[in-house]
Structures are given as C-alpha cells and as structure tokens.
Amino acid sequence: MFRDGERAIRKEWFVRLFASAVFLEEAMTVTLHVCITCRAGQTLGEGEVAPGKRLHEAILAAGIPDDVNVVPVECLSACSQGCSVALSAPGRWSYVYGRLTDAHAGDIVAGAAAYAAASDGLVPWRSRPEIFRKQSLARIPPIAVVPEAAE
C-alpha cells in the first residue's frame, strides 16, 4: 500500500512517462512542409491556383510514405527562390529546397523517403534526387539536446 503522497507522485510519473512516449513516437515522424501561398513571382489570374498550392496537391497525389507527414504552410520566407519545401524531424538536420514546381513532386517524395530512412537525416550525396543536390536553399543542424546536461 502507498500513502496518498506516494500515489500522487506515481500518478505524476505516469503522466510524464506518457508524455515522453508520445514525444518519442512522434520524433520518428518526418515532416515535409510545403509553402502553399507561393506565387513564384507570378501575378495570378482570376481563379488561378497558386503554384505553391499546385505543388502541394501534386506531392499528395504522388503518394506519401507512411513515415512522412506533409504539412501545408503559409510562407517559408524564401519568396525570391520560387516554390519551396522543408524537410525536418526531431534530432535531424533540416533542409529547405527551392525553385520547385509541381513537375518535381515525384522527386520531392523520393527525397523525403530517403531522408526518413536516414536516422540523422543525412542522406548520402549520390542518393539524393538532383533537385535536392542543386536546389538547396539552406540546412540547419539538429539541435543538441543533451550535451550541456551531461557535463
């Protein structure tokens, strides 16, 4: 039997443990953000669909791997570089690619699948689609979570 205080502490642990488990499960998922507001420098006619939205639709139509989550976003702040997408996941390098059109949807999905298969997000150069090799706008290292606490 436990005292009430111990019960409360155990309950608190359960909550934190559950939160950790949710976090760790989600950490496995790769996110592909697609800027859907991008006009790629064009002036759109009445009823015309923005190139970014067309790219998003083409990516969805190309067939998304189970471990990749496609998320539309309003602006990736890379507006001078045409349509853009970003690949990210906890503990991995993040990448932003630009100068994309809906014709690139298949390559983007293939690149996202390769990224999802690399535990640190670092896909060997030759295994990246050409658009990922030539149209990188930026990459950001994974955020170091533990080093300072380990001192």
Positions in the binding site for its own copies (CB under 8 A): 13, 16-17, 19-20, 22-23, 25-27, 29, 31, 33, 69, 71, 73, 75-78, 84, 86, 88-90, 94-96, 98, 136-141, 143-146, 148-149
Task: With CA atoms as reference, report the closest residue to 99 among 84, 114, 88, 86.
Answer: 84
* C-beta closer to its own copies: residue 20 or 48: 20
Shortest approach of its own copies to residue 60 CB, angstroms? 17
Shortest approach of its own copies to residue 29 CB, angstroms? 8
Residues 42/5, Cβ–Cβ less than 8 Å: no
- Give helix 51-62 / helix 105-117 axis angle, nearest 10°: 60
**Is residue 12 within a helix (H) or strand (E), and if so which, with residue range?**
helix 4-27
Which amino acid type is present at position 151?
E
* C-beta closer to its own copies: residue 41 or 48: 41
* C-beta closer to its own copies: residue 4 or 25: 25
* C-beta closer to its own copies: residue 19 or 61: 19
Shortest approach of its own copies to residue 125 CB, angstroms? 12
Specify the residue for token string 């019960």. Answer: 7
Torsion over CA: 74, 76, 97, 145 (sign): negative
Shortest approach of its own copies to residue 51 CB, angstroms? 17
What does the alpha-carbon distance between residue 62 and residue 32 come to, in Å, rounded to a whole number? 13
